Amino acid sequence: MLRHAIKRLLVSIPVLLGVLFIGFMLMQIVPTDPATVLAGPTASAADIEAIRESMGLNEPVIVQFGIYLGRVLQGDLGRSLISNSSVVDELANTIGPTIELMCASLIWAIPLGILFGTLAAVRRGKASDRIIMAASVAGVSMPIFWFGLMLIQYVGFKWQILPFQGRAGPLWTIEGLRHIILPAITLGGVFVGPVARMTRTSLLEVLSSDFVRTARAKGVSERVIVLKHALRNSLIPVVTLIGLQIGFLLGGAVVTETMFAWPGVGRLAVGAIVSADYALSQGAILVLALSFIIVNIIVDLLYAVLDPRLRVS
C-alpha cells in the first residue's frame, strides 16, 4: 500500500515538472521585457541592464527555470498582465467554486451511477438492462455543452425554474444552492453513464464468483447477496474508474464553468488563454494540474479503505 502510494507520488513528479516547465515557457514568451517595464519610461539603458542582472534575466535558461521554480515554491506566480492583480489571489478566489462544483456533481452522479449499474446487473439481459446500457453509451457520446445548453434553454429560460448565470454565494444559502443546481446537473450528467457501466460489469463478475454461490447455497436472499456481499466487493474497480475519470471531470468542469459563468479556475484559465494573459494562464494550468495530482493520490488512498488486502501488501 505504502509502496503503491510512493510510486504514484514519484510518477507525478515528472508530470509536475512538465507542467512547471510549460508555465515557465509561458512566462518566457511574454512579448514585453519585464526589466524594461519595471525600470519605467525614464530609465537609461544602463539602469535596465542593471535590473536585468538583478532579476537574473541574463542567466542561462536552465538557471532561470531554477529561479522560477524557487519563486513558485514560495507561492509567487507573478501578476496578471491584464488586471495587474496577483495571480495567487485570483487563483485563491476561484479554486473554491471549482471544488464546490465538482463535489456537487459527484455527490449525486456516483450514487445514481451505482444504482443504475446495480439494477442493470441484477436484471441482466432484460429490457431495463438494455435501456440503461444504451442510455449510458448515449451519455458518453453526448457533448457536455449540448446537455448544458438544453438545461439553460428549458429549465433556466423557458420555465424559469432555476438560475443559470454565475454563483450567488455559499451553498448554505438558498440562492447559492439554487445557482449550483444546473451546473452540477450538467457536469454530473456525463459521469453517470461510465459509473453505471463499470458497476454493472464489476457486479456481474462478482455475482458469478464462488462466495456468492456459497451464499446462495445456504439460502441467503438475493437482496442481501447483492447489497451486502457483492456490491461492496464490486466497488473497487468503480473507485479505480472514478480516479481515471477525474481528468475527464476536469475537462467537463472547464466547459461547464465557461457555459454557466461559474467563477472557477477552468473559466479563469480559458479567459486568460483567450486574452493571452500568460502569467494568469500559467498559474491556472499549474493549479488545475496540481489539484488533479492531489485528487489522484486521494483516490489511491481510498483503495486501502475499500480493500483491506491492499493495506497489508
Sites of contact with another protein (CB under 8 A): 11-12, 14-15, 18-19, 22, 25-26, 29, 137-138, 140-146, 149-150, 152-153, 157, 197-198, 201, 246-248, 250-251, 254-255, 258-259, 269-270, 272-274, 276, 278, 281-282, 284-285, 288-289, 292-293, 296
294 to 12, 88, 246, 298: CA distances (angstroms): 9, 18, 11, 6
Nearer to another protein among residue 52 and residue 296 (C-beta): 296
Task: Report the alpha-carbon distance of residue 164 to residue 153 in Å, rounded.
Answer: 9
**Shortest distance, position 5 Cβ to another protein, whole Å:** 14
Nearer to another protein among residue 52 and residue 97 (C-beta): 97
Q: In this structure, what is the dihedral angle of CA atoms 224, 229, 230, 234, given to the nearest 10 degrees?
A: 140
Task: Report the alpha-carbon distance of residue 33 to residue 116 in Å, rounded.
Answer: 57
Listed in sequence order, the residues at least 6 apart from 74 whose beta carbon sits closer than 8 Å to its beta carbon are: none
**Shortest distance, position 312 Cβ to another protein, whole Å:** 25
**Shortest distance, position 43 Cβ to another protein, whole Å:** 30
Residue 282 φ/ψ, nearest 5 degrees = -65, -40
**Shortest distance, position 246 Cβ to another protein, whole Å:** 7
Nearer to another protein among residue 52 and residue 256 (C-beta): 256
Nearer to another protein among residue 7 and residue 71 (C-beta): 7
Residue 145, SS3? helix
**Shortest distance, position 216 Cβ to another protein, whole Å:** 25
274 to 104, 277, 278: CA distances (angstroms): 28, 8, 10
Nearer to another protein among residue 42 and residue 141 (C-beta): 141
**Shortest distance, position 250 Cβ to another protein, whole Å:** 5
Nearer to another protein among residue 109 and residue 272 (C-beta): 272
| C-alpha grid cell, residue 100 | 464546490
How crowded is residue 162: how many other Cβ atoms within 10 Å of its Cβ? 15
User: In sequence order, which ranges of the chain are alpha helices (DSSP H)?
Assistant: 2-28, 34-39, 45-55, 61-73, 87-122, 127-141, 144-151, 174-207, 210-217, 222-224, 231-244, 246-260, 265-274, 278-306, 308-312
**Shortest distance, position 288 Cβ to another protein, whole Å:** 6
| C-alpha grid cell, residue 70 | 524557487
Nearer to another protein among residue 51 and residue 203 (C-beta): 203
